[in-house]
Homo-oligomer: A and B are copies of this chain.
């Protein structure tokens, strides 16, 4: 149950413990009032000195996850991992639903470019077709959750960057360009260590983990509309594939 810690692998114990506490919070480590066990008990549970636990708590307090009060204890400020559903009707804001008060997607960059090989394959385009690339950042209550790069055929979706930028919704932007509805065709999922751009945009610690999904969305006739790569902060979200709700007939 308790993650076992290892020395000498390039990640300091206090950071492993910080990650362990963060994960533990989602699993009932804190009591119903949000109070963590005392430092001495955490130290024993993780098998380290209390100094080390204090360093971990200090880091989490600096991130805004915990708050320590002398004489009272240490309390959790934010609790659960967000659940991000994956299915036919996957959309950012709708998916997170009522798990956060405010879910929004913000455009942080765009460019026109010639499609790379795998983009042409995903969108079923001819080699070298012009495409629009859009970089966006998804937040839940202000906390960065995901970072996406999407590609669209340039001729078919001229002006989509402006539409997305002004509405903050990909669904709305596509609707404005004649795609009334769309469906997730396929999703591939991998996990890797965060790159520099991930740590910067998602405000992660170096060495953190990102879940990478590659997806293709099609319109109702089955024609590819959008392909995208999304990196999720692995300690903030959990992907859920509800097979039965999709395929159960």
Q: Measuring CB to CB, which residues of chain A are less than 8 angstroms from any residue of chain B?
A: 3-6, 9-12, 14-16, 18-20, 22-23, 59, 81, 83, 86-88, 90, 183-197, 200, 205-207, 209-211, 218, 222, 234, 238-249
> In the complex, which residues of chain B have a beta carbon less than 8 angstroms from the beta carbon of A187?
240-241, 243
Closest to A18 in B: B10
Please state if B238 and A206 are interface contacts (CB–CB under 8 Å): no
The reply to whether B10 and A14 form a contact with Cβ atoms under 8 Å apart is yes
Interface SS, A side:
mixed
Copies in the complex: 2
| B9 close to A207 (CB less than 8 A) | yes
Interface centre among A183, A222, A247, by most chain B C-beta atoms within 10 angstroms, is A247
Cβ-closest chain B residue relative to A208: B11
- By beta carbon, the residue of chain B nearest A90 is B243
* Contact call A19/B193, Cβ cutoff below 8 A: yes
Contacts of A191 on B, CB cut-off 8 Å? 191, 209-211, 234
Q: Is the CB of B23 within 8 A of A195?
A: yes
Output the least CB separation between A221 and chain B (Å).
12
Given contacts A10-B14, A88-B247, A183-B248, 10 further A-B contacts (CB under 8 A): A4-B195, A6-B207, A12-B12, A16-B206, A16-B207, A19-B195, A88-B244, A188-B240, A188-B241, A191-B211
